[in-house]
């Protein structure tokens, strides 16, 4: 009796009553209804008016409690996708591995998910896993308690009801958030085996929320890190992109190293974090990215991955050149090889790979500062990214500043001043110029530098 009372007061579920959640009132959690987007409130109300349970769940509740602005609002309900569909005129079922419903409310789209069930043996529907224990299918409806139990961290398993302004908390998540702890629901080793991406999520969420990963959840990471090998490359790419664009990339990458997760996870991190110039370059790039996120500016994934991989390209480029390959073909060989190695683990999309290559291929072109060539470089559609990249190289000490200083001046100079800045052509360039019939179309225009 006393134990039950204590667990009620502390909002902690007693071990003897695993399915009894704490119901936390506004006075304790402080989350106000009007912090929830209007569309999301209307979605929850719509479901509740039809007799269903509905809550805001996951990242949005967590972020609001932590004083952050949520990226989006997700709703969880006991209504099936079909039943959700019937509650809202403007809604459609998105058929993926697990069906969810997109409800449109004005300009907002709210993602509504039916509570997911256990796939433990006792539930009679054991999940399909691979030999390492990674869950391959996970598409069984369940109760709210089961839905909470299959979420990863306690702070991610909070259900907010805007009508009563209460939070249903099965796993002590509100208290963990207040105590700044990221705690795994269930046995961390089992949960990492089911889905190794949770190791990366732990690092990212801890950095984003300023939480400490509970030792029980951080301890197994080092020994289990190689399970990441088993994750499909496209999923790993998505997660790495989230991590790098989280606004806490620098912290995350440091933490990955501390947790022993960079080894083998991404070949690029192995190499880069081991060499001083490369490391300085990457850290500057991540700092700049975090700054942009803080200022609400968009992030270019191509630019980000181009920076992360640059020092590998440089090393390979050097190798090909010393093997007798001329500079430009050597660079292209190096670029292809570096991207190929990454592709084994990380499915960098074709479009992003194109952006990365454009940025890299522009670098040697910045060295050519005579004749009409600089005008051609200015006209390149990826000039701005290539130029920012050049600045970063100079800042990291990889390049003499002369080149980037010249380009900054050239970029902002008048037509006459630009013409006066051009260096005399080298003998090789003069020969090529004589062979060229058509003048380039691009001379005299300045690229659009809007961000």
Chain residues that interact with Mg ion, rule: CB under 5 A: 59
Residue 197 is a binding residue for ligand ATP (CB under 6 A): yes
Marked catalytic residue, from 72, 161, 195, 388 = 72
From the CB of 86, what's the least distance to ligand ATP, in Å? 25
Size of the site for ligand ATP (CB under 6 A): 13
Contact status, residue 121 vs residue 129, Cβ threshold 8 Å:
no
**Annotation marks residue 147 as catalytic:** no
| Three-state SS at 378 | helix
From the CB of 58, what's the least distance to Mg ion, in Å? 6
Mark the segment that binds ligand ATP (CB under 6 A) among 32-40, 191-199, 331-339, 417-425: 191-199
Residue 71 is a binding residue for ligand ATP (CB under 6 A): yes
Marked catalytic residue, from 34, 147, 152, 415 = 152
User: How are beta strands 74-77 and 54-57 bridged, if at all?
Assistant: antiparallel
From the CB of 68, what's the least distance to ligand ATP, in Å? 9
**Annotation marks residue 388 as catalytic:** no
Q: In whole angstroms, how far apart are CA 161 and each of 43, 273, 400?
A: 12, 45, 59
Taking the least distance from each CB to Mg ion, the nearer of 59 and 447 is: 59
**Annotation marks residue 72 as catalytic:** yes
The single residue among 78, 156, 168, 218 that binds ligand ATP, judged by CB under 6 A, is 156
- Match 């081991």 to its residue by tokens: 274
Mark the segment that binds ligand ATP (CB under 6 A) among 21-29, 115-123, 150-158, 210-218: 150-158
Q: Which of residues 205-244 bind ligand ATP (CB under 6 A)?
A: 242
Residue 396 is a binding residue for ligand ATP (CB under 6 A): no
**Could you give the CA distance from residue 419 to residue 182 in angstroms, rounded to a whole number?**
59
Tokens of 119: 């796939």
Chain residue whose CB lies nearest Mg ion: 59
> Where in 141-191 does DSSP place strands (E)?
158-161, 166-169, 181-182
**Could you give the CA distance from residue 331 to residue 333 in angstroms, rounded to a whole number?**
5
**Could you give the CA distance from residue 201 to residue 190 in angstroms, rounded to a whole number?**
15
Helix axis angle for 301-322 and 350-365, nearest 10°, is: 60
Question: Residue 102: beta bridge partners?
Answer: 92, 111
Binding site for ligand ATP (CB under 6 A): 58-59, 71, 74, 151-152, 156-157, 195, 197-198, 201, 242
The catalytic residues are 72, 74, 152
């Amino acid at each position: 009796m006393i134990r039950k009372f204590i667990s009620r007061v502390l909002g902690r579920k007693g071990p003897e009553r695993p399915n009894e959640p704490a119901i936390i009132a506004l006075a304790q959690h402080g989350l106000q209804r009007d912090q929830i987007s209007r569309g999301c409130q209307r979605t929850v109300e719509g479901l509740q008016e039809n007799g269903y349970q509905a809550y805001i769940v996951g990242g949005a509740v967590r972020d609001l409690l932590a004083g952050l602005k949520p990226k989006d609002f997700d709703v969880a309900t006991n209504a099936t996708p079909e039943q959700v569909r019937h509650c809202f005129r403007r809604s459609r079922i998105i058929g993926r591995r697990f069906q969810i419903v997109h409800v449109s409310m004005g300009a907002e789209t709210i993602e509504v998910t039916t509570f997911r069930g256990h796939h433990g043996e006792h539930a009679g529907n054991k999940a399909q896993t691979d030999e390492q224990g990674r869950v391959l299918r996970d598409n069984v409806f369940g109760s709210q308690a089961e839905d909470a139990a299959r979420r990863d961290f306690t702070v991610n398993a909070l259900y907010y009801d805007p009508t009563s302004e209460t939070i249903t908390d099965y796993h002590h998540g509100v208290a963990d958030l207040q105590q700044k702890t990221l705690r795994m629901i269930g046995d961390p080793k089992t949960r990492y085996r089911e889905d190794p991406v949770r190791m990366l999520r732990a690092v990212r969420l801890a950095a984003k929320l300023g939480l400490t990963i509970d030792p029980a959840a951080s301890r197994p990471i080092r020994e289990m890190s190689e399970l990441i090998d088993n994750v499909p490359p496209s999923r790993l790419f998505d997660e790495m992109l989230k991590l790098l664009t989280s606004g806490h990339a620098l912290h995350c990458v440091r933490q990955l190293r501390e947790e022993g997760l960079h080894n083998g996870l991404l070949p690029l991190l192995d190499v880069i974090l081991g060499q001083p110039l490369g490391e300085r370059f990457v850290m500057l790039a991540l700092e700049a990215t975090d700054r942009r996120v803080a200022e609400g500016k968009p992030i270019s994934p191509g630019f980000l991955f181009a920076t992360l991989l640059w020092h590998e390209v440089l090393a390979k480029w050097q190798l090909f050149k010393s093997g007798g390959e001329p500079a430009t073909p050597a660079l292209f060989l190096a670029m292809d090889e570096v991207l190929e190695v990454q592709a084994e683990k990380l499915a960098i999309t074709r479009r992003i790979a194109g952006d990365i290559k454009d940025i890299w291929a522009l670098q040697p072109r910045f060295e050519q500062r005579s004749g009409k060539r600089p005008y051609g470089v200015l006209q390149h559609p990826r000039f701005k990214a290539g130029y920012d990249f050049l600045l970063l190289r100079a800042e990291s000490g990889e390049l003499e500043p002369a080149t980037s200083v010249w380009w900054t001046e050239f970029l902002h100079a008048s037509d006459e001043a630009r013409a006066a800045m051009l260096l005399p052509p080298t003998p090789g360039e003069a020969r090529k110029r004589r062979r060229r019939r058509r003048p380039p179309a691009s001379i005299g225009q300045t690229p659009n530098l809007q961000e």
